[in-house]
A and B are shown apart, each in its own frame.
Chain A
């Protein structure tokens, strides 16, 4: 049985908000019978954007991530619903029935991802229904995928087995897997939202001028284990990426022309620009 999944590539998202806007275009003040009631003009973000800014001037990094109903296989919302207000379709899509869910505000609170919104006027809980009404009409992709200019979103209809294989091959994760809801929305390059970086500038003094030093290797070590390294570019800058937080502090070893010329400790609470290292 092939089922729908969504793969979100965080590295390709640049915050254009098209997925957010096209969802409003589709659902705001527009009912799709059997799928959704009309979304209010303002206030709901069925497909929403998350933003992460790391580092500090002058080395900053920005990352973005669309989030939406995860169409969980073990959906907490379904457990919270009374009657058959929420349906898990054979193709994996979770539909909150706009009639049967009336008045069931507890469904909103049940979602660990905050992806369900309460429609005050209609008195119904609402979430992004995977554009199911369009897929049922034969659309091969969701509307959010069609609207995304950078191919962040990929709607994939495969067997669960195949999906697990893809997840493994492409190193996909789900959001908050520990909650055990078994989301059908997968994230690629999600380390951009979880890991940290250490950046700095290596400079030296040549003929009384401060100069950027290229080709210096900076290695991050924690508990005597190398956790990352980077080589300075033409601007003397290095950026050691994909560092995960840990209680232990990090030591940076600066290696120039085959010799360790400096060693310094870095406390890591957040992505950091440590400034200039003079050698």
Chain B
């Protein structure tokens, strides 16, 4: 009887919802259909006829329903159909064939989603403002935003200011002072500039086909990047793409479809590439274009071997560092560390206030960087500017002074490390006859020996934090050069000599380690989202068990390193090394393309268009795209930029402001475990759909759903859910659902996670190690098997100690990574004499400040008007190259002149920015132009868009790794002569 009621209840619910909600009423008019719900044995059944938006029903078995939902027996049917939705039961029943659905995928999904809307139609999102605007919330790669909306249009965005109902802020007491962060969420310019990117005229508004691409005839790959596009319908576009998937799977077999994406995506747990994209592609199988740990290179391939932390890609644990640093440290050394430019990573200007506190407390600061970077400029302090790539020599000279003058922690070295004697012997020159003295390093680095000695003494005598990289332990800079592995190894070695974990002595630049509740779980984007991918995301740890959903898996074993994708296509073969954070040793395994028995790549499905701006020697991408070895290229992109212009079919994706999602600020999870530790208040956001997608663009989720429908995978992919349904499922799974109701959460749009009570705070990083206790920080790695003795006793290394001469490297033969981290000059740098004669300047291409890689740049956005981002000359926004005044003078270049940066790999036009902020001999330009605009033949002519990565080498840092080294790059520049006589400079000189 109960089942009869449930089945009849559905029709009542449908009618009632239609009565209350116009959108639902409208939805019911989308399809006429007959839906049958029944027991498999036909003993009970009811069908529903939807016609012109009206519903009729009969308790019977229909002879020809469009959609049938069936249940194995009455018990299961009742369990699944009884409200509220229990996805655990639903997924369980589906996985075990206790229930099922038949019919055209598109209709089945439509019906399931319609049932879901019985619940969600009543949800009320946002706060109504007195002036008729509604205040919604969304999130970005730089932080959360209030979004004020009126008449379906975004009016403005602002940073979030917390109110009295939100959780209190934490307080740190240090040296008699009380420090509490301002109650708001700071964001960078590329967050506040989003509206101009959403409304950009460079949006892909319609599905497009390259005009000379004939699916069944001549495909003309050689014209990619040159030919124009014609608008086609979504059905045509998706039929072509799904048809090609089927064709190559049928004709060529596993591996024929390759999937390549950027390192980041629009913020959120549902639409992220590690979420919806993997869920879909795992369903069809693909050649993985594997990411190198691009901003962690040296840490992952090098640092890890000395002290473990593979799951953080070699960067150190961050707990408690804010409090410890403010209380105990006397000096912070920022080494290749510019958190004010990189926002740490994702964290707006949240660390800035803490660094201002440090300044207030009189904590000294030293900045080691060839560029007087944004952080140095703001906080001041001693500038030490080594020639790019020579940093390991500087570090070794510090060791030399410490040994010579007895300025290291002997007790720590003796009890917590191994291999010091061998290391000390090398440093003092026993063996090779060369003491690594300040005088030795001075010749290599260009830093006076007196400064090196002074730094070593200051450091050896003062309790010092080492902020290495943008996050203070990892991220960008000197780890991305030929000597990046050596450098990151040296960073660990320096801390090993100074007593890592002693009060006031740790990694960090006050960017990480805010006193949060590290036990409160809300998934970060790398924790898998809806992917169900247990092997290539962090899903298995918490997301999967907490949020029941159908798992997914890519069982195709073929892999290509992203850095070598063009080589694989062009040469038909490539070899790379694994990015495998689960252990220190995973990285030693190599993979070859093609994998045994697998098809070569026939389709490249590209997500976004950043590669020409962000990958090395990136003219290779253009050659790849124009190769006949690549029969089909799809680009799923928001904007018509970069390599998007090289696709055969363009699928227009919408932004995360035009769809639903959910996410916590700055939280990556997985390989970026606890990245929220950078912000001052943990903030979980419902990412509201703020306006309709531009043109005919669709969300990534919707695009994949429609492709999935064509592959018979609609229900597998969607589980009958919309993006908002998935957002609710993620919320329900998280600890946030125990603290705040969904209703309240979606109205306000965010939830601030309360910090721990002071006595419950996580201990300071490495304190346990320094004191020789078991590990007591809330960090779920290393995996149990990696402890040599007892669980949680010691580090991940074989000895459990910091190893000056790593055991792991002793058993692996990489000529560029010997166990003893001896100094080997860059393969493109200060000692490559012949090349240096031709190209005497060193290019460093740091992570950008005003754009997040390519996000924010180009797109006709307002970010381009920032005069430290691009310079407007003759109506064109040129990328900026910062050059020392003396180098400019020697080449007859004035401020805001157009110059050509060039070497044997290519040439790029930039606007010259004359400054004393780079040492002579160094050119600094950010790495990530979104704009690729060759002045002639693509791939063979000068780029005026600003993709300086056309000049960088694709060579890996070491022979047996896949480690990019963009900061090892020799170039020269000259005035750009093409139109200097006619050019009317409108760029305003700053000074």
Contacts and interface: CB of A to CB of B under 8 A. Distances in A.
B349 A149 contact: yes
A211 B454 CA distance: 8
A33 to B, nearest CB: 12
Interface stretch (B154-162, B293-301, B428-436): B154-162
B865 A42 contact: yes
Contact of A51 (B156, B449, B991): B991
Given A45-B865, A150-B356, A235-B451, 19 more contacts: A18-B189, A21-B192, A21-B863, A25-B862, A28-B196, A41-B196, A42-B864, A53-B990, A58-B919, A61-B380, A62-B372, A62-B378, A62-B917, A146-B159, A146-B184, A149-B348, A150-B352, A209-B450, A212-B453
A57 B385 contact: yes
The A contact surface, by secondary structure, is mixed
Interface in B846-870: 850, 860, 862-869
Contact of B862 (A28, A50, A52): A28
A233 B130 CA distance: 57
Contact of A210 (B157, B449, B458): B449
A236 interface: yes
B383 A24 contact: no
Nearest to A205: B450
Given A17-B866, A45-B865, A26 B156 contact: yes
Q: Which 9 A-B pairs have the closest CB atoms?
A: A149-B349, A149-B186, A62-B377, A14-B378, A24-B862, A51-B990, A212-B454, A21-B189, A56-B916
A147 interface: yes
B424 interface: no
Interface string A21-57: 1101110111000000000011101000111110111
A17 B157 CA distance: 15
A62 B860 CA distance: 29
A97 interface: no
Interface in A75-116: none
Contacts of B158: 22, 143, 146-147
Contacts of A20: 189, 865-866
B182 interface: yes
A237 B885 CA distance: 23
B382 interface: yes
Interface in B947-991: 990-991
B915 A53 contact: yes
Contacts of B864: 42
A189 to B, nearest CB: 13
B340 interface: yes
B131 interface: yes
A269 interface: no
Interface in B378-408: 378, 380, 382-383, 385
Contacts of A138: 130
Contacts of B919: 57-58
B775 interface: no
Contacts of B364: 233
B920 interface: yes
The B contact surface, by secondary structure, is mixed
B161 A146 contact: yes
A258 interface: no
Contacts of B157: 25
A229 interface: no
Interface of A: 14-18, 20-22, 24-26, 28-30, 41-43, 45, 49-53, 55-62, 137-138, 143, 146-147, 149-151, 203, 209-212, 233-237
Contacts of A234: 454, 457-458
A148 B462 CA distance: 34
A71 B761 CA distance: 48
A60 B885 CA distance: 13
Given A14-B377, A51-B991, A60 B156 contact: no
Interface in B359-377: 364, 372, 374, 377
B385 A24 contact: no
A57 B884 contact: yes
Interface string B444-457: 00001111011101
Contact of A18 (B131, B192, B378): B192
A22 B449 contact: no
Given A149-B186, A149-B349, A14 B865 contact: no
Given A137-B130, A212-B450, A235-B454, A17 B850 contact: yes
Contacts of A16: 188-189, 340, 349
21 contacts: A17-B869, A18-B187, A18-B189, A20-B866, A24-B865, A25-B196, A29-B199, A41-B196, A42-B872, A49-B868, A51-B868, A53-B991, A57-B372, A59-B383, A60-B917, A61-B380, A147-B192, A209-B450, A212-B450, A235-B451, A237-B382
B193 A24 contact: yes
Interface string B137-166: 000000000000000000111110100000
A28 B860 CA distance: 13
Nearest to B129: A137
B863 A211 contact: no
B192 A25 contact: yes
B195 interface: yes
A162 B777 CA distance: 52
A111 B918 CA distance: 36
Interface in B428-480: 448-451, 453-455, 457-458
A21 B991 contact: no
Contact of B448 (A42, A59, A143, A210): A210
B916 A211 contact: no
Contacts of A29: 199
A147 B865 contact: no
A230 B275 CA distance: 57
A14 B340 contact: yes
Nearest to B457: A234
B340 A57 contact: no
Nearest to A204: B450
A60 B193 CA distance: 30
Nearest to B437: A209
Contacts of B348: 149
Interface in B155-183: 155-159, 161, 182
Contact of A53 (B189, B383, B451, B917): B917
B862 A15 contact: no
Interface in B308-352: 340, 348-349, 352
Give the one of A21, A52, A60, A212 with max B CB within 10 A: A21
A53 B885 CA distance: 12
A59 B376 CA distance: 11
A43 to B, nearest CB: 8
B349 A203 contact: no
A25 B195 CA distance: 7
B539 to A, nearest CB: 34
B683 to A, nearest CB: 15
A203 B450 contact: yes
A50 B868 CA distance: 11
Nearest to A210: B450
Given A25-B156, A149-B349, A149-B352, A18 B188 contact: yes
A150 B374 contact: no
A14 B353 CA distance: 12
Contacts of A62: 372, 377-378, 917
A55 B916 CA distance: 8
Contacts of B377: 14-15, 60-62
Nearest to B201: A41
A95 B399 CA distance: 63
A276 to B, nearest CB: 9
A61 B915 CA distance: 11
A57 B866 CA distance: 25
Contact of A150 (B349, B454, B920): B349
Contacts of A60: 372, 377, 383, 916-917
Contacts of A211: 450, 453-454
B128 to A, nearest CB: 14
Contacts of B196: 24-25, 28, 41
Nearest to B366: A235
